[in-house]
């Protein structure tokens, strides 16, 4: 005996929803459902409040980890380039009065040395 969809529909049309095993709504389940909805809403509000904080924290972490590593290399590269330019200017203006090229080069060298110690040597000392 084969059955098709039309026969199954005809058989189920006379049966109520509770007779085929559908869950019935009970007041005790309604209270539990309401408590669950309240819990979900409270957690959702906490996440909605915490999401911007997490977003800002993520950006700060990215800046510290990625951008600072790139910026550190750029500072040292352009600092070295600045030293080369200042040395060339010191040689060129050595005999010019009131230019003080030696002191200018010394200031730039001291700044570069300070950057070098802060950016490279202090982190290495922390790893030892």
pLDDT at residue number 9: 55
Contact predicate 82/112, CB 8 Å: yes
Low-confidence ranges of the chain (pLDDT < 50): 18
pLDDT at residue number 90: 94
pLDDT at residue number 21: 54
pLDDT at residue number 25: 52
Tell if the pTM clears 0.85, that is, is over it. no
Instruction: State pLDDT tens for residues 46-74.
Output: 566 666 767 777 777 777 777 777 888 88
All structural domains of the chain with their residue ranges:
22-127
């Amino acid at each position: 005996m084969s059955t098709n969809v039309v026969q199954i529909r005809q058989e189920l049309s006379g049966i109520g929803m509770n007779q085929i095993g559908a869950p019935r709504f009970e007041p005790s389940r309604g209270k539990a459902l309401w408590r669950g909805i309240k819990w979900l809403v409270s957690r959702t509000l906490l996440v909605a409040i915490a999401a911007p904080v997490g977003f800002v924290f993520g950006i700060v972490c990215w800046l510290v980890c990625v951008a600072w590593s790139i910026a550190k290399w750029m500072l040292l590269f352009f600092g070295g380039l600045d030293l080369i330019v200042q040395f060339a200017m010191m040689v060129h203006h050595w005999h010019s009065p009131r230019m003080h090229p030696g002191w200018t080069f010394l200031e730039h060298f001291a700044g570069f040395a300070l950057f070098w110690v802060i950016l490279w040597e202090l982190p290495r000392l922390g790893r030892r």
